[in-house]
Amino acid sequence: MKHIINALVENKPGVLAHVAGMFAARGFNIDSLVVGRTEDPRFSRMTIVVIGDDRVLEQVRKQLAKIIPVVKVQDFSGQPVVTRDLMLITVAAPPEKRAELFAIIEVFRGHVVDIGPKSLTIEVSGPESKIEAFIDVCRPYGIKSLARTGTIAVPRQAGAEL
Amino acid sequence: MNSRITSQSGTRGQAQQESLTGAEIVVRTLLDLGVDTMFGYCGGVVLPLFDKLFDAPIRFIVPRHEQGGCHMADAYARASGKVGVVVATSGPGACNLVTGLATAMMDSSQVVALTGQVRTELIGNDAFQEADTTGITRPITKYNCLVKDVKDLERTIREAFYIASTGRPGPVLVDLPVDVEVARYHMGEPATIDLPGYKVRTKGHSRQIAMAAQAINQSERPVLYVGGGVITSNTSEQLRALARKANIPVTMTLMGLGSFDQTDPLSLDMLGMHGAAYANYAVQECDLLIAVGARFDDRVTGKVATFAPHAKVIHIDIDPASISKSVRVDIPVVGDARCILEELLEQVEHRPRTAWFEKIAQWKQRYPFAYDRNSPYIKPQYVIEEIWRQTRGQAIVTTGVGQHQMWTAQFYKFRHPRQLITSGGLGTMGFGLPAAIGAQIARPDALVIDIDGDHSFNMTMTELATAVEHNLPIKVCIMNNGYMGMVRQWQELFYGKRYSKSYLANPDYANVARALGAVGLTCEKKEEVPKVIEEMLRQERPCVVDFKVDRHENVWPMVPAGKSLNEMNGLDILERLI
Ligand SMILES: Cc1ncc(C[n+]2csc(CCOP(=O)(O)OP(=O)(O)O)c2C)c(N)n1
Ligand SMILES: [Mg+2]
């Protein structure tokens, strides 16, 4: 099962290597790991999607917390969260297919960020399932390249998806 | 969390606002932290530091190999309860610390390693003697860091000592580029530690403790299972009080030996793969297992699924990550063992548990540790028993790794904490001799004996020169079976007696000892054992005794890897011997 773990870490050299090394050394499975700055320049936030059962997750949380530059660990499993992935995807788009593609992009609330003679680059963000669905829809046109960020998440305040 | 390690000496006053080099800052900070002994080996990028150590009031021990130096610092820490400090140069020097750091890490020993590094602007350029020291040692240290700015130096060293010595202790490495050692900075008030991600929990949760007390008071068949955490947290007294008051038998891990007096009737001695049959049976049949400062290592639990199958499990540990890592725990109590046991002590009641103690007495009588006393050969167990007798069980004992280590654990009945210094977690051959040196430095008046294996001794015997140089009266008793005995035992039992590469020709150890300036003795006859030990104990210089022991002796009982604790081999052999 997939779990989203959020770790606030000190902005120090070697922290990413430490976290990644710990996951590798203990045989934990990372699905994705995103690091970025936070509102406080002293800290970064890591959002880690981990695959494993509850026992594995408990160890992941504890082993993360044990790393000294890791300040706080939160497990978002079983709690309402907003999750987002960002994807840039370049799809083959000969002129005769473009209208069709634009319609799809519209449905997915994506943006065209680059246009070439034979392709379009589209930016899509959303929960992972939406990104996957968009990839599936694009596949028949021919995917030329694809880059994804992995999941970031924050706890949800409102009761439902907005 | 903001806290500060307080000054332990008055050297600070004069340092106010002086401009100092990084190397001077290191030395002053070490003195301020109370360091009076260090181990280390010099090299290009630590020369500025060594220059400042030249006339510093610090006893400095130079090993013959940095691995030895790291084991010395580790054993110094284990024997004294203080932080052990080791210094090495960049590249090869730092790499030679690796085994020592991993050993300290696995056994939660408080070591601070200072390594030199190439100039900051050369880092990453494959400079001469450059190694990615923080990268290499990250998984084998509790914490490490590279100091890039002399402004951070004092704070970092204080943090290193604080992290190494608090919580679950462990080694910390600080990497010092040579330009930082020579850069100048003003030293003012003691730098304040700034570690927002490091919180040390001491007091246990009162509700959990109350639950633990209730479980203890209700238990018919409890067992205390204690590990090295009881020793590092100085909890032996509280442990004894708890065992006595609540009337609970105590079994120890290899690392826990010494935490509870093994001559006490409540002692069940060591448990696990080569533990006492009575300890293993007691664990398998208990209804309550109270783990204190122990981590359910696979050498202790055997097959996890069938470990202590009838027991409710209480786990008292400072490290939350140890809880429910391998064995499911019913009542976890996270915090300092001493605080927790003190609180627990007030809430437990005495219960006679007559049936339980009768059963234990039967096991003890039926399956004691045993060996063939009538053999014409020198049995290693006999040598260890005789050492115990002549030292009245009071020596500080270090070991290598192998059969001799297990026999030491089985036949030297430890009575005090910090009395056995052995590599339990990593199982590092070659630990014994440098550990004896570190322990002797920490405890100059104690009798320190390394009970070693021939092949373990081979790995670090060069450190005998260090012992001679400092005239340390350590004693090395080599249980010379001519084999990597533990490997030979496994090959005999599990590999059809194909003794692949487990035999090497050994030198004449008495001659080696003499060549290095120590006393060398040899013991070839069983009858001579007591006399030779007497002679050894009379020596005031380092002394090596080569005991030519039975080459084919095995360690019993033995729980084969992956079997349950009650599936011990060799019980029939033990039964025949008593
Ligand atoms: C550095 C290291 N290398 C290899 C091993 C694997 N090993 C464990 S015990 C052992 C044999 C030890 O031989 P010796 O020191 O003579 O002790 P004995 O078992 O004969 O008492 C070996 C090779 C180890 N523990 N440590
Ligand atoms: Mg041997």
* b/e burial code for range B497-515 (CB count within 10 A of at least 16 → b): eeeeebeeebeebbebbee
Taking CB atoms and an 8 Å limit, are A71 and B138 in contact across chains? no
Nearest Cα to Cα of residue B393 among B300, B258, B575 = B258
- pLDDT at position B17: 63
Query: What per-residue confidence (pLDDT) applies to B513?
Result: 98
Residue B76 pLDDT greater than 70, yes or no? yes
CB contact under 8 A, B138 and A14: yes
Q: Write down the pTM of the prediction.
A: 0.95
CB contact (8 A) between residue B197 and residue A18 = no
Integer Cα distance of B100 and B3 in angstroms: 29
| Ligand 2 ion: residues within 5 Å (CB) | B 453-454, 481, 485
**What does the alpha-carbon distance between residue B434 and residue B402 come to, in Å, rounded to a whole number?**
17
B125 is written with which tokens? Answer: 């350029």
**Which helix (H) or strand (E) covers residue B116, if one does?**
strand B111-117
Q: How high is the pLDDT of residue B18?
A: 74
Tell me which residues of chain B, numbers 96 to 135, contact chain A at a CB-CB cutoff of 8 Å. Answer: 134-135
Quote the CA–CA distance of B47 and B38 in Å, as a whole number: 16
Q: How far is CA B558 from the centre of its chain?
A: 22
Give the separation between CA A28 and CA A9, rounded to whole angstroms: 19
- Whether the pLDDT of residue B14 is over 60: the answer is no
Q: Domain A2-75 belongs to what topology?
A: Alpha-Beta Plaits (3.30.70)
Domains in chain B, please, with CATH?
11-186 (3.40.50.970), 206-366 (3.40.50.1220), 380-556 (3.40.50.970)
Res B339: pLDDT: 97
CA angle, B99 then B105 then B106, to 5°: 95
Which residues make Cβ contacts (< 8 Å) with residue B463, sequence separation at least 6?
B63, B64, B65, B68, B72, B433, B434, B437
Q: Which atom of ligand 1 is nearest to the CA of B401?
A: 9
For range B454-466, the mean pLDDT: 98
Distance between CA atoms of residues B163 and B370, nearest Å: 43
Q: How far is the CA of B135 from the CAs of A20, B100, B145, B394, in angstroms? A: 12, 16, 9, 42
Q: Is the pLDDT of residue B23 over 80?
A: yes
Separation of alpha carbons B69 and B436, rounded Å: 12
Q: Which residues of A touch B323 (CB under 8 A)?
A: 62
- Weakest mean pLDDT among B10-19, B38-47, B143-152, B559-568: B10-19
**Mean pLDDT over all residues of chain B?**
96
Residue found under tokens 């919580």? B167
The CA-atom distances, in angstroms, between B518 and each of B480, B539, B542 are: 18, 10, 5
- The C-alpha torsion from B500 through B501 and B507 to B508, rounded to 10°, is -20
Q: Are B533 and B556 in contact (CB under 8 A)?
A: no
pLDDT for position A1: 83
Percentage of chain B beyond pLDDT 70 is 97
**What's residue B578's pLDDT?**
79
Rounded mean pLDDT of B509-521?
98
Q: Where are the domains of chain A?
A: 2-75, 82-155
| B119 has a pLDDT exceeding 70 | yes
Whose Cα sits closest to atom 3 in ligand 1? B429
pLDDT at B12 over 90: no
Cβ-contact B228, B257 below 8 angstroms = no
pLDDT score recorded for residue B4: 42
Closest CA to B426 of B103, B97, B67: B103
Q: Which ligand has the nearest atom to the CA of B555?
A: 1
Angstrom CA distances, A151 to A33, A80, A84, A87, A129, stand at 7, 15, 5, 10, 11
Distance from CA of A46 to the nearest CA of B (A): 14
Residues 340-379 of B with CB under 8 A from A: none
| Atom nearest to B457 CA in ligand 1 | 15
Nearest by Cα to B100 from B80, B74, B78? B74
Residues B414-428 pLDDT 10s: 999 999 999 999 999
Residue B152 C-alpha from the chain's centroid: 32
Dist CA B288 CA B286 (whole Å): 6
Q: Are B481 and B546 in contact (CB under 8 A)?
A: no
Residue A161 confidence (pLDDT): 65
- Can you say whether residue B301 is alpha, beta or left, with left for phi > 0 and alpha for psi between -120 and 50 degrees? alpha
B 162-201 residues inside an 8 A Cβ radius of A: 163, 195-198
Residue A127, preceding peptide bond in cis (omega within 30° of 0): no
Cα separation, B198 vs A21, whole angstroms: 19
B486 lines ligand 1 (CB under 6 A): yes
- The ipTM (two decimal places) reads 0.90
Separation between Cα atoms, residue B525 and residue B86, nearest integer Å = 41
Q: Which of A1-10, B78-87, B152-161, B422-431 has the lowest mean pLDDT?
A: A1-10
Q: Hey, whose CA ends up nearest to atom 4 of ligand 1?
A: B429
DSSP H/E element including B300: helix B298-301
| Structure confidence at residue B166 as a pLDDT band (50, 70, 90) | very high
- Decide: B431 and B103 in contact? Cβ < 8 Å: yes
Ligand having the closest approach to the CA of B429: 1
Which residue did the predictor score with more confidence, B144 or B12? B144
Quote the crossing angle between the two packed helices B354-366 and B277-285, to the nearest 10°.
150
The conformational region for residue B570 under phi > 0 = left, psi -120 to 50 = alpha, else beta, is: left
Stretch B359-374: mean pLDDT, rounded? 96
How confident is the prediction along chain A (162 residues), in pLDDT tens digits per residue? 889 999 999 998 899 999 999 999 999 999 999 999 999 999 999 999 999 998 899 999 999 999 999 999 999 888 899 999 999 999 999 999 999 999 999 999 999 999 999 999 999 999 999 999 999 999 999 999 999 999 999 999 876 666
Q: Do B197 and A55 touch (CB under 8 A)?
A: no
If one counts every other C-beta atom within 10 angstroms of the C-beta of residue A46, the result is 21
Can A2-75 and A82-155 be said to share one CATH topology?
yes
**B250, β-bridge pairs:** B224, B267
Q: Where are the beta strands (DSSP E) in B231-296?
A: 250-252, 267-270, 288-292
Would the CB atoms of A59 and B138 count as touching at under 8 Å? no
pLDDT value of residue B188: 87
Task: Say if residues B11 and B31 touch (Cβ distance below 8 Å).
Answer: yes
Instruction: Please give the Cα distance from B255 to B17 (Å, whole number).
Output: 46
Q: Tell which phi-psi region holds residue B54, choosing left (phi > 0), alpha (psi between -120 and 50) or beta.
A: alpha
Angstrom distance (rounded) from CA A31 to CA B186: 48
Mutate to test the pocket of ligand 1, among B455, B481, B501 (most ligand atoms within 8 A of CB): B455
For chain A, what is the total number of helices (H) and then of strands (E)? Answer: 4, 9
Asked whether B258 and B234 are in contact (CB, 8 A), the reply is no
Q: Which residue, chain included where needed, has tokens 């002679």?
A: B535
What are the E-state strand segments in chain A?
2-10, 29-37, 43-51, 70-75, 81-92, 111-115, 119-126, 143-148, 152-155
- For the domain spanning A82-155, the CATH number is 3.30.70.1150
Q: Is B429 in the pocket of ligand 1 (CB under 6 A)?
A: yes
Q: How far apart are CA B404 and CA B411, in angstroms?
A: 10
- Looking at residue A160, its pLDDT comes to 67
How far away is chain A from the Cα of B199, in angstroms, using its nearest Cα? 9
Residues B94-113 pLDDT 10s: 999 999 999 999 999 999 99
Confirm or reject: Cβ of B162 under 6 Å from ligand 1: no
Considering only CB atoms, B135 lies closest to which of A17, A66, A71, namely A17
pLDDT score for A136: 97
> One-letter amino acid identity for A46?
M
pLDDT at B512 over 60: yes
For B185, half-sphere exposure in the C-beta direction (CA atoms, 13 angstrom radius) is 22
Angstrom distance (rounded) from CA A122 to CA A102: 10
Quick one: which of B167, B490, B335 has its CA closest to A67?
Answer: B167
**What's the pLDDT at A162?**
62
